[in-house]
Amino acid sequence: MTISPKPASRHPANALPKSRNLTEVAHRVTREMRQARNAHRGGVLWFTGLSGSGKSTLAMELERRLFERGYQVFVLDGDNLRTGLNRDLGFSAADRDENIRRVGEVAGLFAEAGMIVISAFISPYRDGRARAREAAGDFHEVWIQTPLEVCEERDPKGLYRKARAGEIRDFTGISAPYEPPEAPEVVVETAGRSVDDCAALLVEYVDATFKLPDVEP
């Protein structure tokens, strides 16, 4: 029997597990094999922006369009994951960091499996997004850039109204900070632009970035 060598860890060197009695097992299906099967690279499109900026709307529309074009694609949405994987977390700075750490790890696994992962999270802190980038590997930060006043005017979930009334603590943009990306791979300005226009811009980016040369997805 052949013993597979220990794979190179995709985890940051400083992110040591609590137990040292662990040995990572090498897959016999490589990332390159999965990419060849899918006709595109795996990777993470990390949507960040204020509540009401349009992250979830654009993520779901992009997922639909990419799926129709033959991409293996899946959305990890902030509210959806907080009802399951991250249901034990609140909205303190520490819990927000842990929320993003977990999602970065999950997104990295999806990407390693050859999929394009669209992560839609406020993810307000630069340090948190940097850790997600490190964990996920092929990471593309997409800033859904929408002014606070526009987000507050939209207020699709009524959260800004509650935050202004003091009913929600630690609400990003009102009583908690949002740190804008400093060097995102993509900036999508949604104010005054349709969902169709914004989604078309993102499809163009995915085609140029993830599709393998001379292969239709």
Return the active site residues: 123
Q: Identify the H or E element spanning 86.
A: none
In Å, what is the CA distance from 91 to each residue of 81, 86, 98, 156? 14, 11, 10, 19
Count of residues in the chain: 217
Cα 184 to Cα 199: distance, rounded to the nearest angstrom? 17
Instruction: Report the greatest alpha carbon distance in the chain.
Output: 66
Burial of 99 (0-12, 13-18, 19+ CB in 10 A): buried
Q: What's the sign of the alpha-carbon dihedral 91, 95, 96, 100?
A: negative
CA distance 58 to 199: 6
Strand partners, 117: 44, 74
Contact (CB, 8 A) for 45 and 107: no
